[in-house]
Amino acid sequence: MRPPPPLPPGRERPGAAGTGGAGARGPAGARTSPGVGFAGRRAFPARRSVLRVSWSKRTGGAMLTSGLAPADAYEYLVLARSKLLGWVRELSDEQYAREFPIGHRSVRATLVHVASAEWGYVRRLRGEPVPPIAERPFSRFQTEPFGPFEGAWADQAQQTRAALQEVQDWSRPVEYVSRFSGRDRRYRTTAGGLATQLLFHEVHHRAQVMFMLRQMGYPAENLDYSVLAFEVEDLEP
């Protein structure tokens, strides 16, 4: 293999010590990435961005064993949620409950479903029993205005943060029985898999709410991770 051509004086290859490439390190030698981060931080510790999955002979399915830091990913979710709820806050009570042929039919029902599911996933992470949907605390918001629901979801976010930070082993097996489409089903995953479901479940239904908002004339725009969390620099043409 031919060696790479020499670089001009004063230049270093990407990733070399002292550069801002892949080998860049922050304080105390910690690797950093250019993400803006949350709570005023300018950079996240660099993490492996590919979810590591192993095939489970016991369950006959893929099991998430490690990967992204769920607690950090949840902060992005809450940031995007705050922008989404800012648009929802502008709706009238009639618009909040208006039905559409998608998702759970209305902005209210879809958001309540997401919050109720989050409450349930947190309890499963902690090994606590989860009652049927109709008996969960968020069910009462199916007929209430937006304000009280928003406050309750903000309180739940604190519980979710704490639960995600408590987990020491994301490969820990999790098994539970839940009723879906009129029948009981047994679910097997890991703590990491459950956290991943918590995160992606909201993204899935968030898109449905954004569709409803745009149908009512509200500019529900891009909530992509790169838009909210990457450090972006405009270059001169």
pLDDT digits (tens, 9 = 90+) for 114-123: 999 999 999 9
Predicted confidence band of residue 131 (pLDDT cuts 50, 70, 90): very high
- Residue 90 resides in a domain: yes
Residue 49 lies in a domain: no
| Per-residue confidence band for 180, with pLDDT thresholds at 50, 70 and 90 | confident
In a domain? residue 212: yes
User: Is residue 173 in some structural domain?
Assistant: yes
At residue 179, the pLDDT reads: 85
In a domain, 125, yes or no: yes
State the pLDDT confidence band at 6, using cuts at 50, 70 and 90.
Answer: low
- Predicted confidence at residue 109, as pLDDT, reads 98
Q: What is the pLDDT of residue 103?
A: 86
Q: How far apart are CA 198 and CA 115, in angstroms?
A: 10
pLDDT score, position 43 = 36
Average pLDDT of the chain? 80
Query: What's the domain count of the chain?
Result: 1
Does residue 29 form part of some domain? no
Place of tokens 């270059």: 235
For the domain that residue 83 is a member of, what is the CATH number? 1.20.120.450
* In the chain, % of residues over pLDDT 90: 66
Q: Residue 197, exposed/middle/buried by CB under 10 A (0-12, 13-18, 19+)?
A: middle
Residue 102 has pLDDT above 70, yes or no: yes
> Is position 53 within any domain?
no
Among 44-53, 62-71, 141-150, the minimum mean pLDDT is found in 44-53
Instruction: Summarize pLDDT for 23-45 with one digit per residue, the tens.
Output: 333 334 433 333 333 333 333 33
Report the DSSP pairing between strands 173-180 and 183-190: antiparallel
pLDDT class of 181 with cuts at 50, 70, 90: confident
pTM of the model: 0.71
Number of residues that this document lists for the chain: 237
d(CA 63, CA 66): 9
- C-alpha span between 122 and 188 (Å, rounded): 16
Q: Quick check: is 85 in a domain? A: yes
Q: Please tell me the distance from the alpha carbon of residue 171 to that of residue 237, in angstroms, as a whole number.
A: 47
State which residues form the domain around 147.
71-218
